[in-house]
Structure 1
Amino acid sequence: MIRLTALLDLEYVAHLLFWLNFHPDECIYLSAKGRGFGEPDGVAILQIIFLNQMFILDPYKHGLRLFQIASTEDPMYTLQHVLEDPRRLKIGFDVRSLSNYLYSSFGVKMTGILDLQVLSILQQSDIESPFLPSLRTAVLSTKSGPVPKAIRQAVCERTKRSKAFVDQKGGDSTPLYLRPLPRKVMLYCANDAILLPYLMKSYLSLALPAQEEALKLSNSRLLTSRQKDFVLNAPERRLKDDGKSQTTLTASGP
């Protein structure tokens, strides 16, 4: 069971950093919510899933200070240090926009990333769609066995809730920026704590060479997301050459 904690004050972030420093070998899951990564104040909340808890942080309110505040025990141990540490595995889904946002807004150069969308591409080469898989598609088409009912329910709930916060789809992103966070926002965030670890099981079932390939491709995405010609929300496409399906993992276009 995952506990959700909103760390909207910086003093509590320092305590989170203490626990991250105390567990250097534990991976963390990353996600973010907002009106749009490319817009001013476009990211309202940053989610860190660590052990059996999800912590919701507030880059909208604190800006650069969020990434520079230090652990209660180590003045050099900051959130920026955690995100840039290649030894700490960070896991997300389609990390390009988040990586671009962190770099362009705060100078944070993420490393040590496993992008679960890349993993889905490698495992789902038979998918006919010309576009890369969404989180919903990746979960429902996983090769690790029948998708449990609880996971299917979490996928449907996340899809339904996400539309409610997307301005371009008739929703309203305002609740993501309210403090304290409304209950419906917390419930929306909670689904990530279910679905991302579920997808991670597919990675753990791979042979070591396949794991290394997924990590290599994931981190190449980070490099392209920090290039000047990177285009936010530009969909990557699957390419077909001589009747054979191929995949491009370049972030800036088809």
Structure 2
Amino acid sequence: MSSSASPEANKATDHLLATVTQSLGAISVNDDAADDMIEMVDTAAALSNMMDGLDGLPTQPPSLYFDLEGESLSRHGSISILQLYVLPSKRTYLVDIVTLQHTAFSTRGKTGRTLKEVLECDGTPKVFFDVRNDSDALYSHFDISLAGVQDLQLMELATRTFSKRCVNGLSKCIERDVRLPAQELAAWKAVKDAGVKLFAPEYGGSYSVFAKRPLSDAIRLYCAQDVRILPRLWSHYRNRMSPAWALRVRQASKERVALSQTVNYNGKGRHMALAPPGWY
């Protein structure tokens, strides 16, 4: 928000931040205190250290869970933050794309690997929720062709016993399938609502908050909390998915990445809610 905001708007923002702070203690989506470890990666040195922690990780279940935030996240917008949750170490990294730009994807760790190479490695499984616009932005702005993607939105669709015509959003999946205890669910909703009211234009916010530095506590936690829940969703859906449907999910995930790289790709509109052809 701009510095010219009214006193009433500033008071509302302060109240939201207080709500988020009070909610911190209630969030433990993986029942481990280590989940509070959120690191802002905004230097080449910090990025190199992060890359060192990505070597030799198990692939089953996947170790790496990703999300992106930005202004109009697509080829027509920008990437502000790349979120990465590393399951074995229970660490959440917020990679500052605004500050690092191409350095975020070209900096090497001790073993020589870059984040670009990890993202493009088919043998390293990477979990996204609806990879399409994330892939569009990464490909358009940083020439990254994602591979090894497991799309949780498709995994949810594959496990349904009712209509598969339309996909669900992340919030609906979390509320329905993660089954957080009441206190944790209330805390998750408080953090979600606080973030939305800071960036959503319909609430007087702006997506530019993702690009402002230093990152506010409310946006920092908003960026971190959903990516930390993704392993729970992955486990829930994978345990309910047949081998045949798992194969279809892998293929459809690849097709989503390929589609996002086409000249005529449009990441907005009602068509984004439809299941892959032949799934319903």
Shorter chain as denominator, the TM-score bin is 0.7 to 0.9
SS at match of 2:122: coil
Q: Please list every run of at least 4 consecutive aligned residues from structure 1 whose deviation after the TM superposition is greater than 4 angstroms.
A: none
Do 2:128 and 2:152's aligned partners in 1 also have CA atoms closer than 8 Å? Answer: yes
Match runs of 1:65-84 below 5 Å: 65-71=103-109, 73-75=110-112, 77-84=113-120
Do 2:127 and 2:150's aligned partners in 1 also have CA atoms closer than 8 Å? Answer: yes
Q: Compute the displacement of 1:153 (Å).
A: 3.0
- For 2:188 and 2:163, locate their aligned partners in 1 and report how far apart those are by CA, in whole Å: 19
Pair 157,39 (structure 1): closer, same or farther in 2 beyond 3 Å: farther
1:18 maps to which of 46, 52, 56: 52
Aligned to 2:146: 110
1:232 maps to which of 251, 260, 267: 267
CA displacement, residues 162-193 of structure 1 (integer Å, 9 cap, x when unaligned):
42243432323333222222211122123213
| Residue 149, structure 1, aligned to residue 208, structure 2 | no
Q: Compute the displacement of 1:229 (Å).
A: 0.9
- For 2:212 and 2:272, locate their aligned partners in 1 and report how far apart those are by CA, in whole Å: 36
Aligned to 1:244: none
| Residue 140, structure 1, aligned to residue 198, structure 2 | no
SS at match of 1:21: coil
1:59 maps to which of 85, 97, 100: 97
- For 1:209 and 1:196, locate their aligned partners in 2 and report how far apart those are by CA, in whole Å: 22
- For 2:272 and 2:49, locate their aligned partners in 1 and report how far apart those are by CA, in whole Å: 42
Pair 82,12 (structure 1): closer, same or farther in 2 beyond 3 Å: same
Do 2:195 and 2:222's aligned partners in 1 also have CA atoms closer than 8 Å? Answer: yes
SS at match of 1:126: coil
- For 2:97 and 2:76, locate their aligned partners in 1 and report how far apart those are by CA, in whole Å: 12
- For 2:272 and 2:220, locate their aligned partners in 1 and report how far apart those are by CA, in whole Å: 32
2:194 maps to which of 134, 157, 161: 161
Match runs of 1:162-241 below 5 Å: 162-169=195-202, 170-205=204-239, 206-236=241-271
SS at match of 2:49: helix
Q: When the two structures are superposed, what TM-score results if normalisation uses the length of structure 1? A: 0.82
Give the AA of the match of 2:92.
Answer: M
Pair 151,201 (structure 1): closer, same or farther in 2 beyond 3 Å: farther
SS at match of 1:223: helix
Aligned to 2:81: 45
- For 1:191 and 1:90, locate their aligned partners in 2 and report how far apart those are by CA, in whole Å: 18
CA displacement, residues 120-161 of structure 1 (integer Å, 9 cap, x when unaligned):
222236259x7521111222333x8x5543563355235413
Unpaired runs of 5+ in structure 1?
Answer: 240-246
Q: When the two structures are superposed, what TM-score results if normalisation uses the length of structure 2? A: 0.75
- For 1:237 and 1:181, locate their aligned partners in 2 and report how far apart those are by CA, in whole Å: 30
1:8 maps to which of 25, 35, 42: 42
Pair 117,162 (structure 1): closer, same or farther in 2 beyond 3 Å: farther
Q: Which has the higher strand share?
A: 1
- For 2:84 and 2:243, locate their aligned partners in 1 and report how far apart those are by CA, in whole Å: 26
- For 2:255 and 2:209, locate their aligned partners in 1 and report how far apart those are by CA, in whole Å: 34
- For 2:182 and 2:73, locate their aligned partners in 1 and report how far apart those are by CA, in whole Å: 32
Give the AA of the match of 1:18.
Answer: D
Do 2:66 and 2:227's aligned partners in 1 also have CA atoms closer than 8 Å? Answer: no
- Identity rate of aligned residues, in percent? 21
Pair 32,227 (structure 1): closer, same or farther in 2 beyond 3 Å: same
